[in-house]
Amino acid sequence: MRVLITGGAGFIGSHLCDALLERGEQVDIIDDLSTGKLENISRLLDNPKFRFVDDSVLNEKMMYLLIDRCDIIYHLAAAVGVQLIVDEPVRTIETNIRGTEIVLNLAKKFRKKVLLASTSEIYGKSTHVPFKEEDDRLLGSTIYSRWSYSTSKAVDEFLGLAYAKQYQLPVVITRFFNTVGPRQTGQYGMVIPRFTEAALQNRPLRVFGSGKQTRCFGYVGDVVRAIIALMEKKEAEGEIFNVGSDQEISIADLAEKIIRLTGSQSEIKYISYEEAYGQPFDDMERRVPSLDKISRAIGYHPEVDLEELLMKVIEYSRQKMKAEGQIP
């Protein structure tokens, strides 16, 4: 089987490449390397079953060629990360909505199954936890650019469900909850790699806001395993699934845990959202998924707990930073 992954040089995409190639699949990816990194896939470039196209998902002619030749599509390409969303809201909206429109339209033309990667941001500021896939959404004002990401991904979901209903296109939608693991960068605001890199250099860990806000962090290997299984499940077509972990931790406790696990001398520094992002920022206190639906569908349960996940990230970051001369 030939698989197309958009955003395949990104963090999740590159791990998906590894898993599919290990299964013997032919894997084509397209990535413009705007947030993805060549180093994530460099070891794959000599694999005869792997093909990398350095281009944008917005290039409709290239996407036509790639979707024509593939059997299924994992559409992961998107503008990601809080910092990027705040800094480049136009790019966020255009990439997410237009890219998905192109993928779905061509998938319809060639009758190809699609997985659309969505996000826990869909739930907005709802306090009705754990979040279930059918729950109502509660979003902040449009003056806060962060909600442009949630809204653009909601449009993606509406499009995916509309194509499934109107054209009987096989579409599976997954909402990722803070997927973490080796290769993830803190460059765009992802908290665990950002904390880990600071701790390994004994720099202050900057916690935004009160630090009481809680999140659940899912290991990328568990997430990849889940989305492959969902794509193999006929009953998952036309459905939405939360994917991640339901193990909850506050950001302040996360910072303390990373300091302990790294043996760091770092301190925790609390700063306002305005100081962090240069503008007011609308955040939410808790974000916890219900995993009931995905458990019923494919028997999914996270296999890697938070402490093991953190140790995997710490070890990866330590080796990478040593190689780059950032730490002794």
Q: Which of 195, 192, 213 is nearest to 204 (CA)?
A: 195
Q: Provide φ and ψ at 327, rounded to 5°.
A: -135, 155
Say whether 149 is catalytic. yes
* Distances in whole angstroms, Cα of residue 269 to Cα of each of 44, 102, 253, 272: 40, 44, 13, 10
- Kindly name the residue from 149, 163, 219, 300 that is annotated as catalytic: 149
Q: Any long-range contacts for 129-134 (C-beta under 8 Å, 24+ apart)? A: 129/286, 129/287, 129/288, 130/246, 130/288, 130/289, 130/290, 131/242, 131/287, 131/288, 131/289, 131/290, 132/242, 132/290, 132/292, 132/293, 133/175, 133/239, 133/240, 133/241, 133/242, 133/290, 133/293
- Extract long-range pairs of 41-44: CB within 8 Å, 24+ residues apart: 41/8, 41/9, 41/14, 41/17, 44/17, 44/18
Residues forming the active site: 149
